[in-house]
Amino acid sequence: REVTVGLIGAGVMGADHARLLSGAVAGARVGGIYDVDEARARRVAQDSGARPLIDPLKLIADESIDAVLIASSDPTHEEYVLAAIAAGKPVLCEKPLAPTVAGCQRILDAETAYGRRLVTVGFMRRHDPGYLELKRALDDGDIGAPLVLHCVHRNPTNNPGQPSSNVITNSAVHELDVSRWLLGEEIVEATVHTPRPARAAGGTADPQLLILRTASGTLIDVEVFVNAGYGYEVRCELVGETGTVQLDTPSATVARRGGGTTRSLPMDWRPRFAEAYRAELQHWVDGARRANPPAPSPAATAWDGYVATYLAQACVQAFETGGPVAIELPNRPALYQP
């Protein structure tokens, strides 16, 4: 049975998801699309053979729609996720699940009341072949017990002049999620340091250096620099007691000419994480179809979405106060126990 997806949001990410669902993912089609900008919804709908709809809540409730994909602006996520839960439909929500911890809590409460997990959060790095390989190496004991995780996250440009907290809540939040997934434990302390800001950042504190400590004592450093100019790059090296393992550059070729070697970099995250997005959608669609048996998925649950927002807020507090912030998460509700 094919899964008919209702897409909310037809911007950069929504359009990309529509393209993947119509061409690169098996067992799914886009049935209806809503966007605040009707013309944009119509354009993406035309490309993917879907119906443009003008009411997002009607789209979610429509009986022809089996599952809901949310790629609208961050503050709208909560309302649409809650509507999908109310309709009893699987929902994949782009990060963040909600911008506030209270909003994420309302989603946990609604899903718990429903009694079954319906929500997936679009932390796509968990589906990246490189990160999966890193996790396998760690879990198989190839490098011994983890000690330090070095992360670098750079964008060529990202809203110069945006509030400094966005560098954490919109960008570093990926490292917050992927680190706790990779290490399989929680972050318990955060400090944020800032150098003199880059001129291209237009007044935003950028770059930022996050220093995080996990419950068992592993240290994580994250340099996040979203106006770095030269390209899109995500690096990660895990240092263990007997070895290290590091993401490699995903370019397929190296050019040698004019006295140098070059690997090209993408200019944004879509080409860098193309396979991760495809695999994320395929896992989600297989889960929604209950493909027999659905492959175990590394995807982020609503609880993971809650924790990501919680950690991001703690880091914003660390940024604002300059001091280390101790982090104590509430207990994981029964629905999200492994």
Q: Rule CB under 6 A: which residues touch ligand ISE? A: 155, 158, 170-171, 174, 226, 269
Q: How near is the Cβ of 321 to ligand ISE at its closest, in Å? A: 24
- Looking at residue 227, the DSSP 8-state letter turns out to be T
How many CB atoms are closer than 10 A to CB 28? 24
Closer to ligand ISE by CB, 181 or 269: give it: 269
Residue type, 91: V
Q: How near is the Cβ of 185 to ligand ISE at its closest, in Å? A: 23
Closer to ligand ISE by CB, 64 or 73: give it: 73
Q: Got the DSSP string for 10-60? A: -SHHHHHHHHHHHHTSTTEEEEEEE-SSHHHHHHHHHHHT-EE-S-HHHHH
Closer to ligand ISE by CB, 158 or 313: give it: 158
Position closest to ligand ISE via CB: 171
Cα angle, residue 295 at apex, residues 293 and 299 outer, rounded to 5°: 135
Q: How near is the Cβ of 173 to ligand ISE at its closest, in Å? A: 8
- Looking at residue 289, the DSSP 8-state letter turns out to be H
Q: How far is the CA of 253 from the CAs of 245, 263, 271, 275, in angstroms?
A: 21, 7, 15, 17
Q: How near is the Cβ of 174 to ligand ISE at its closest, in Å? A: 6
H helix or E strand, kind and range, residue 154: strand 146-154
Q: How near is the Cβ of 261 to ligand ISE at its closest, in Å? A: 26
Closer to ligand ISE by CB, 82 or 226: give it: 226
Closer to ligand ISE by CB, 171 or 309: give it: 171
Residue type, 300: A
- Give the alpha-carbon dihedral of 211, 212, 218, 221, to 10 degrees: -40
Do residues 94 and 122 touch, judged by C-beta distance below 8 A?
A: yes
Q: How far is the CA of 316 from the CAs of 41, 110, 169, 180, in angstroms?
A: 34, 27, 8, 18
Closer to ligand ISE by CB, 34 or 232: give it: 232
Q: How near is the Cβ of 165 to ligand ISE at its closest, in Å? A: 13
Closer to ligand ISE by CB, 11 or 324: give it: 11
Calpha distance 86→61 (Å, rounded): 9
Q: How near is the Cβ of 93 to ligand ISE at its closest, in Å? A: 13
